[in-house]
Structure 1
Amino acid sequence: MPLLHNVCSSLVVVGSLIASLLATPAQAQIEFRADPQARLPEEYRQRRQEPNYAGCPCGCNRPRLMALIPESTPALTVSTHPEFFISVPAASEISHPPKAEVWGEFWVSHADTQHLIYFIRLPMPEQATVLRLRLPADLPGLDIDKDYEWGFNLNCDEEYRTGVYGIVRRVAFPADIEALGEQATPHERATHYANAGIWVEAIATLAQARQNAPDDLEILNDWRSLLQSAALGPVAEQPLLYEYILEE
């Protein structure tokens, strides 16, 4: 009966392993909690999804632009040079006149004066993706408690342009997050940022974690739960994450 004994022993080991996995508590989902004090001034505009225009500039049958930002509050950040995330269609999905060029435009300005502090023209990616845009380190940093407007335009012709835009606001670094130290996991950091209503670092932390470990299912689930909590669920399923290092 040695064969039967070995099979039974293997089944016991497998059963114990399954029981151990089932007994392991699931990692808590990350939920963004907007800071109720961080209100969007009425005079400032924010549009995180490209509207359905009559006539469909740049094509009717393509995914619409989507800025990955909170729905009705500024995107808070603790960084002097924050990151920005935009869901964009593939270049091949964008309709344009024959021989016309297709490109994107990213810009940042002072919200109160509309004074432009950064602008760059970018090629559109070959696949639908989430663009990760990082401001150049040698650019003057954002001031604390000041609002900045930013946006991304899609140009499919010199005459046709559509886009999304939002408000980013730098705030002081919360002491409890600073106390986490370098040993904190991406899940722990993103959770603390999300709980504090600091959107930019919450999403940027998970974006970097996804880039470092693209096959990690826990990180992917964190990414999904964060975006779903901000009503950005459909964007969470985009498989690629491109990164553009912007230059001044």
Structure 2
Amino acid sequence: MVPTASPQQIITTFSLAFFLEIVANSLMLPVQARSIHAVPMSPLFPVQSVDFPLATTIVQADNQQTPRSQLSQTEWNNFTPPSRGTPGRREGAGTRGRCPGGVTALIPTSTLGRTALEKPTIYYYIPTSLETVLVKFELLDEEDDTLYEKTLEMKETKAGVIGLDLSQYEDAPTLEVNKNYHWYLTIRCEPDTFDPSGDIVINGWINRVALSPNQLQALESEQPSERLNLYAEEALWYETVSTLAQLRLSNPEDTVIQQRWAELLNSVGLGDIAPQPLISSELIQSTLEQ
């Protein structure tokens, strides 16, 4: 005899099945919801590509507002001298006698630096102390025709970085805008002899550019440390070196300035010179024109 279910049992079984289906559907909703929410994580909707680059852009923008980051990002070495001129040489070769090897011009690796100044300052490094040497400065045009020369006498000086400020000499020519100039610095460590074979010669290029009236006005109103921002934007090498050198001299204990100085020299492969002191060496007009 086949057992049969009573009407009450049938109703109870149907109600239980209906209840279980509702529960199952409700349990699947969070899963479906999570699946739908996960759609933007697919390659077509990369959430991270929307959120993180925006934050990165903000960080980069903030960094670019600081002179330090701009100094490191400026491509100082991208400017090259004219091909028709003699290549520059920023490090003097080892020589005989009292002249040391390793004398180095603080210029980019290409040997050309930009400036907006009529008479910039040229910085160079001497690795040992010297006594009573002659320093001859020459300024030439792109064709290597001499425009100006001056022989100076340098009294006793220690090893370090020295600046030759052309604005101190009234007879020095004013650099013209949009022109390239080639400068030579010759150090004669034995001035009593007339043998040039022992001389140290370093040389580099200068390209003068013009600034807009707004830029000039901004430079007049900014503090020296803040001017570095504009100098870096315009890749004005000679102003940047000179400003940082002056800041180092006036604030010898400022670690931020020291770090920016090191950052600048590292960007042109002269990081070994960064820890060296800045030397105020007296350069006077020499009576021994050679």
With structure 1 as the length reference, what TM-score do the two structures score? 0.73
1:51 equivalent in alignment to 2:93? yes
| Matching residue of 1:34 | 76
* Cα 1:79–1:27 shift into 2, 3 Å: closer
Which structure's relative contact order is higher, taking Cα pairs within 8 Å and 6+ residues apart? 1
Select 1:116's aligned residue among 117, 122, 147.
147
Q: Distance in 2 between matches of 1:49 and 1:85?
A: 12
1:70-109 paired onto structure 2 within 5 Å: 70-92=108-130, 102-109=133-140
CA contact (8 A) 1:110 1:147 kept: yes
Q: Distance in 1 between matches of 2:189 and 2:77?
A: 37
* Cα distance in structure 1, aligned partners of 2:77 and 2:212: 13
TM-superposed CA distance for 1:226, in Å, is 0.9
Deviates more, 1:154-163 or 1:199-208: 154-163
What are the ranges of 5 or more consecutive residues in structure 1 without an aligned counterpart?
Answer: 1-24, 95-100
Aligned residue for 2:188, secondary structure, equals: strand
Q: State the distance in 1 between where 2:124 and 2:186 align.
A: 10
Deviation for aligned residue 1:144: 0.8
Aligned-residue sequence identity (percent) comes to 27
Distance 1:236 1:65 in 2: 14
The reply to whether residue 171 of structure 1 matches residue 171 of structure 2 is no
* Residue 151 (structure 1) aligns with: 184
Matched, 1:233 2:266: no
RMSD: 2.9
Shift of 1:76: 0.7
Indicate the SS of the match to 1:241: coil
**Structure 2 runs not aligned, ≥5 long:** 1-62
In the alignment, structure 1 residue 133 sits paired with structure 2 residue 133: no
For residues 175 and 111 of structure 1, do their structure 2 counterparts lie closer, same or farther at Cα, with a shift above 3 Å needed? Answer: same
Q: CA deviation at 1:64?
A: 1.1
* Paired residues of 1:34 and 1:73 also in contact (CA < 8 A): no
Alpha-carbon distance in 2 for matches of 1:35, 1:41: 14
Distance 1:42 1:58, change over 3 A: farther
**Distance verdict in 2 for CA 1:189–1:246, change over 3 Å:** farther
In structure 1, give the amino acid aligned to 2:165.
Answer: R
- Residue 233 of structure 1, CA deviation: 0.7
Larger Rg: 2
Paired residue total: 212
In structure 1, give the amino acid aligned to 2:138: W
Query: SS where residue 149 of structure 2 aligns?
Result: strand
Shift of the 186–51 alpha-carbon distance from structure 1 to 2, 3 Å rule, reads same
Once the 2 structures are TM-superposed, how far is the Cα of residue 123 of structure 1 from its aligned partner?
A: 1.5
* Inter-CA distance 110–243: structure 2 relative to 1 (3 Å threshold): farther
Q: What is the correspondence of 1:172-211 to structure 2 with a 5 Å cutoff? A: 172-173=210-211, 177-178=215-216, 180-211=218-249
Matches of 1:244 and 1:130, distance apart in 2: 13
Greater per-residue helix proportion: 2
Match of 1:237, SS? coil
TM-score (norm 2): 0.63
CA positional deviation for 1:207: 1.4
